[in-house]
Amino acid sequence: MQTNSKTSRLAAVRRFYVYLVAFVSQIAMLVGVNDLVDMLSRSWLQPDGVLAGFYLRTATANAISVLVVATPIFLIHWWLGQRFRDDAAERQSVLRKLFLYGSTAAGLVVLLTNAYTLIRELGWLALGAPVAATELLPAGWLHWSFMAAVGIGLIYHWHNVLVNDGDFGKEASAARFVRQLFLAIAGLVGLGIVVWGARTLLQIGLQVLVDRVIGATDLNWWRLPLGGAWSQSLVGLWLLHALWQQWQEVVRINAAEGRAVLRRIYLYIGVLVGAIATLTPAALLLREGLLMLFGAGGGSTAELLDRMVGPVSFIPVGAVVWRWYWTTLRRETDAYGDSGQSVMVRRIYAYLVAATGLALLWVGAVELLHALIDAALTGGDVWREPLANGIALLAVGAPIWTIFWRRVQSIAEGNDAAGAGERDSWPRKLYLYGVALVGALVLLFTLAQVIYRVLLTLMGEPTMALSSNELAHRLADSAVAAVLWAVHLLAIRADGRFEKLPDAELAQAAPTSPTERRAALEAHIAWLEAELNAARHELVQMERRSQSAQSIEQS
């Protein structure tokens, strides 16, 4: 046992050294190739003397020196890593997966940055920009095209290595986590690029329409940003589609992947991104509309239209993202069921969104009451902006909190295993007691202020009056906090009244239909088979290492 443990530690140290040096030298190679191709393409296709002389010689020599040193170091260390490829423990090691997915990420960065620049410049030229204003000609196209091809080659090569390792889609737990983390992070990066690029496209179109309506003088400003937005959208859509297709390929190999916790986290974050991109600008538009209705709109019509272009451009993009991710999440939940971890992810998501909606509702209700108090006691225009803010926040926060609160309450109110699991979960406890704590602190502070001011008034303090705005504001704050505090305290009390089910019953929270139950069982069996294969491989390797150690001792 001591020999096996020592062998494992030495193997881990070797892997750490080999794969770290291989990755760093690979990055150095990419930097050297990029600089060298840039210098050679510009000196070849742009012989105008700009790169002649000392600068060309030093830049070229620097790039070649990096390549001369980094290339053999990378090849030697990658050869060392491949020497043990017949060992299942080597192929399934976390450090190897980190290297392979890190190298794939490097290839993606090279591909996306160069493809984005190339498409942007081509789009700008296609829209009528002067050739002299771009870097596409005479040499830029060659540099960017070559590096994009290098990125494609790297992605293809490292993906083949991952597939040829034999455990793609059926990795052991730690290696599986590395793959899922890579897919989730890269997918969210692609989502962010798509959302921003598509939003910019819509914003440019709306701004052009606004400029024509208000008679702006410069109507040709849109060419450069349109090329960038179009390029960004295409690059982001490709990345998002390619990664999702790869994840779908894994699900076809291993059905248990459909309920993996990181996959569910990715989908829930996508839902949140879509919801935020839709509801936040919608609230801003509602606020602007209310200010106009109350006669407090700031600026001219042109300024108002300019302010509204940005928020409006987010709403269609956010709605599409929101719908796609939510539909996909529901479909996968129905098809593959839930694991204990994915159920916890669902709870965290639900209570996080409920808390966000409650915060918006809370602030909106306070703003609304303050505005009504100011309108009743003071008059003038001071109440208009707080009233618009309060209504806009309530319009967004109240539906969000109501929907998600009723959703989790409908589960928690059930006298079954699902209800008991919901009531005993730490996200629910954190949410309920967190809101109760905030409510109690707000009540403590605001009611103390109310009593303080009442006492000063009763004692004859001339600067205090029971009809003052400040006293009414504190009463309004106390009323809102008291209502929400009471709602959550009642929920805590209701949770405590249920009988605690035995652990055996809690473990039997099954899907609600035979179809869902069958899909969940099939996914669970596939996951167990993958874990069993990984365990068998590890056991075989342990036996081989034990036999080799015994033979060494006998000799």
What is the full DSSP assignment across 137-158? IIIIHHHHHHHHHHHHHHHHHH
User: H or E stretch including 170?
Assistant: none
- Give the span between the Cα atoms of 180 and 168, in whole angstroms: 11
Q: What is the pLDDT along the chain (555 residues), one digit of tens a residue?
A: 455 566 677 888 999 999 999 999 999 999 999 999 988 888 887 765 555 555 677 888 899 999 999 999 999 999 999 998 888 888 889 999 999 999 999 999 999 999 999 998 888 888 777 766 677 777 788 999 999 999 999 999 999 999 999 889 888 888 999 999 999 999 999 999 999 999 999 999 888 888 777 766 666 778 778 888 999 999 999 999 999 999 999 998 888 888 889 999 999 999 999 999 999 999 988 888 888 887 766 556 667 777 788 888 999 999 999 999 999 999 988 888 887 788 889 999 999 999 999 999 999 999 999 999 888 877 667 788 888 999 999 999 999 999 999 999 998 888 878 888 888 999 999 999 999 999 999 999 998 888 887 787 777 666 665 667 788 888 899 999 999 999 999 999 998 887 554 544 444 444 444 555 555 566 566 666 666 766 666 676 666 666 655 555 555
Q: How far apart are the first and last CA of the chain?
A: 19
Return the closest-CA partner of residue 174 out of 48, 247, 255, 89: 89
Long-range contacts of range 225-230, CB-CB < 8 Å, 24 or more positions apart? 225/200, 226/123, 226/127, 226/201, 227/119, 227/120, 227/121, 227/122, 227/123, 227/124, 227/127, 227/129, 228/120, 228/200, 229/197, 229/198, 229/200, 229/201, 229/204, 230/119, 230/120, 230/123, 230/197, 230/201
Q: Are 170 and 254 in contact (CB under 8 A)?
A: yes
Q: What is the DSSP letter of 499?
A: P
CA–CA distance from 381 to each of 296, 301, 415, 438 (Å)? Answer: 8, 20, 53, 32
Count of residues making up the chain: 555
User: H or E stretch including 294?
Assistant: none
Which stretches does DSSP call E strand in 339-426?
none
Return the closest-CA partner of residue 374 out of 280, 223, 476: 476
